[in-house]
Amino acid sequence: MARPTSDQEVMERRVQRHESHVGSTYAAFIRHLSQSGGMEPELAECAAISVLSALERRILPKEARDLEAQLPRRLVEFLPPPDKRPARPHRFGREEFLQTVAEDLRKSPEEVETLVRAVFRAFQEQISEGEADDVASNLPPDLRSLWRLEQ
């Protein structure tokens, strides 16, 4: 005869299932980015974190929270806590965005443009079209064309 499970055991199993789901969602995202962007998983992970961090510095904090809500939770956990982030967006365009990511990844801005495009594409495959439009509306035209994957 099976012994009854306690509320504590039930809660522990729920937490384990949740953590497993969070981990597998993140792993699937990184695997997809790695394959679609033609990069090693380690670079895909670093690129995703760097691009998200730079993007969130550029958009309004409320929009950043909305974006985060649709991305894998584990990815968002790499960012600074919300109370440690600037209250206002930092105004910069495509060139500074690419330079920021290039410095993070120790690559040239020319090298990272392809990575940024791959990350942006992967983000947009995770979020709603409405959210993608909201992010675009927070960007200057030169950076918006990169987000929209235009040449």
Span between the terminal Cα atoms of the chain, in Å = 66
User: Band of the pLDDT at 57, cuts 50, 70, 90?
Assistant: very high
pTM of the model: 0.82
On the question of pLDDT at 24 being above 80, the answer is: no
Contacts of 148 (CB under 8 A, 6+ apart): 136
On the question of pLDDT at 106 being above 80, the answer is: yes
Q: What is the mean pLDDT of the chain?
A: 88
For the ranges 3-12, 82-91, 108-117, the lowest mean pLDDT is seen at 3-12
Between the CA of residue 30 and those of 85, 99, 101, what are the distances in Å? 24, 23, 17
List, in order of start, the domains of the chain with CATH numbers. 15-80+91-147 (1.10.490.110)
